[in-house]
Structure 1
């Protein structure tokens, strides 16, 4: 575990924010996560890395949880404070050799968009489509970093997105090439339902990768 100096806390909504801290030489592959907590605190939580592999900093996207032991403390951080970071960990990643020739589908709910932001910051040439499910359109986190034509924003709480309803409702209307690499990141209910939708449309299980955000 290392101490990393915070250089910026950027608030995206009233309850969601991006923490940027010094990289301190940490190497990672896009899709991995770190264990993060305030300096000296016992409690830490897993957060997917939000920044790209080649950035000279590390970022994580955090949603404040009511009564959360970690997220509420992280929200109060300022530039110059320190965080404890351990990692990277995880296997929610792909073979970079596939990038030039294969298609990718990214499905996320809420802050589950984090690893896909890292994917695209690292590999902007990816042939991808992303489906992102949130309640309100204000949760379209840093969409300027994506090709907007490649992203479908599904809003379940208001009719301000590209599709009014859940990601499962949108995906049920779509067709996919069977060789598409599908990455799912979000709550477990979504992942189970999307898994069934994709396999029902001919995507082999071996082409589906999952990361559960509780």
Structure 2
């Protein structure tokens, strides 16, 4: 075993010290790690494990490609095994990172010619945060479905006229109701690329709605969280 004397990375290049924990709500937070030589494409995910623990979980990368730190967005699952352990990490604790993995990301061949509509539920917004922050001047519309406005994580980071926050349990968002109801009521340009990330029910329902509007599977890229 070799020891790297870099204060940010120890033991092995897969091990990183926690350098920040940013709470976005009571149960949701951003875990920050030193990026070092870690390279990824916006939209990809990593596998995280805690030093000394046998389990791991996959999380979409939240940070932009050129950000100084590597960040993931985590929601603590009530009764879960792994996310509460991440929630209780402290600055200086070690986590193991494997990846990046996946091919979910921006449709590069249509990057300039098409409009890009990102549809997310809950923490499914993470890869879109990375994509948007990594791609200046992108013609995008972000549709985020949450229960309350407090779950519109760091919504101030997006162009106000490009974000539609759909809140199902309060009226303080841009649209009161589920994001699927918003999709039903909204017309989209034919040259639109759709990207869906979140729970499976939302994704299947959204794909059916988009199909009814004339958009085929070739127009849609999907990342299912659970």
Same fold flag (TM > 0.5): yes
Larger Rg: 2
The residue that corresponds to 1:27 in the other structure is: 39
Q: How does 1:96-135 map to 2 (within 5 A)?
A: 96-135=108-147
The residue that corresponds to 2:97 in the other structure is: 85
The residue that corresponds to 1:47 in the other structure is: 59
The total of aligned residue pairs comes to 214
2:173 maps to 1:161? yes
SS across alignment from 1:172: helix
The residue that corresponds to 1:175 in the other structure is: 187
Instruction: List alignment gaps of at least 5 residues for structure 2.
Output: 1-12
SS across alignment from 1:52: coil
SS across alignment from 1:94: coil
Question: What is the root-mean-square deviation of aligned Cα atoms in Å?
Answer: 1.2
**Shift of residue 97 of structure 1?**
4.7
The residue that corresponds to 1:13 in the other structure is: 25
User: In structure 1, what is the Cα distance between the partners aligned to 2:52 and 2:34?
Assistant: 17
User: In structure 2, what is the Cα distance between the partners aligned to 1:179 and 1:65?
Assistant: 38
Task: Tell me if the contact between 1:9 and 1:20 (Cα under 8 Å) persists in the aligned partners.
Answer: yes
Task: Tell me if the contact between 1:33 and 1:87 (Cα under 8 Å) persists in the aligned partners.
Answer: yes
2:209 maps to 1:197? yes
TM-score (norm 2): 0.91
User: In structure 1, what is the Cα distance between the partners aligned to 2:78 and 2:216?
Assistant: 38
Match of 2:16 among 4, 17, 23: 4
TM-score (norm 1): 0.96
Task: Tell me if the contact between 1:4 and 1:24 (Cα under 8 Å) persists in the aligned partners.
Answer: no
Instruction: List alignment gaps of at least 5 residues for structure 1.
Output: none
2:49 maps to 1:37? yes
